[in-house]
């Protein structure tokens, strides 16, 4: 049996691609002095698209552990990007939604984010992007 090189393994390439994309985005955020991490941006965008959400729902959509996003949410609340509102009849959970400052931050920075997304898919046509998206979803389904 031929020994497989790590660079030939799809999951390694996916992980490497993800890390490179995060590093690129974080360096751009830092260069623009946005005072945000990629993980904070992802949570803001998920809340903007789906909110209000409980922390458990937010964790599921971001594929993160609910406990691990607590500190991130604390920082985002401190920056006035989100609000936590009590859920009636449930003292342990909160609905998380964007504040007005959070909505403004997302809106102001979407042009730059779209530019990053376009850079990452430069050279792909529509059909290739659709095929890639479907293949990635298939891998995700296989891991579920």
What are the beta bridge partners of residue 85? Answer: 95
**Gap between the Cα atoms of 77 and 84, Å rounded:** 8
Q: How many domains does the chain have?
A: 1
**Gap between the Cα atoms of 45 and 71, Å rounded:** 17
Has residue 13 been placed in a domain?
A: no
Stronger pLDDT, 8 or 1, i.e. the higher one:
8
**Hey, what's the torsion of the CAs at 141, 10, 124, 110, to 10 degrees?**
60
Q: What is the pLDDT of residue 1?
A: 66
Segment 86-108 shows an average pLDDT of: 90
Has residue 133 been placed in a domain?
A: yes
Has residue 22 been placed in a domain?
A: no
- pLDDT tens by residue, 32-44: 999 999 999 999 9
Percent of the chain with pLDDT over 70: 99
Q: What is the pLDDT of residue 23?
A: 96
pLDDT over 90 at 97, yes or no: yes
> Does the CA dihedral 101-49-111-44 come out positive or negative?
positive
Q: What is the pLDDT of residue 81?
A: 97
Has residue 19 been placed in a domain?
A: no
Has residue 17 been placed in a domain?
A: no
Has residue 21 been placed in a domain?
A: no
Q: What is the pLDDT of residue 8?
A: 85
How far is residue 117 from each of residues 12, 22, 58, 100, measured CA to CA in Å?
21, 11, 22, 25
Residues 6+ apart with CB under 8 A from 100: none
Q: Indicate the SS3 state at residue 83.
A: strand
Q: Give the CATH number, domain containing residue 77.
A: 1.10.10.10
Tell me the residue range of the domain where 40 lies.
36-143
Alpha helices (H) in 1-144, listed in sequence order = 10-31, 38-50, 55-62, 70-78, 100-120, 126-143
């Amino acid at each position: 049996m031929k020994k497989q090189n790590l660079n030939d393994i799809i999951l390694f390439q996916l992980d490497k691609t993800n890390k490179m994309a995060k590093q690129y985005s974080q360096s751009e955020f830092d260069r623009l002095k946005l005072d945000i991490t990629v993980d904070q941006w992802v949570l803001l965008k998920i809340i903007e698209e789906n909110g209000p959400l409980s922390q458990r729902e937010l964790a599921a959509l971001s594929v993160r552990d609910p406990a691990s996003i607590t500190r991130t949410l604390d920082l985002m609340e401190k920056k006035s990007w989100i609000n936590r509102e009590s859920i009636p009849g449930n003292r342990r959970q909160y609905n998380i939604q964007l504040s007005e400052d959070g909505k403004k931050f997302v809106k102001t920075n979407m042009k730059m984010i779209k530019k990053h997304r376009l850079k990452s898919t430069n050279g792909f046509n529509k059909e290739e992007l659709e095929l890639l998206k479907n293949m990635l979803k298939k891998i995700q389904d296989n891991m579920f």
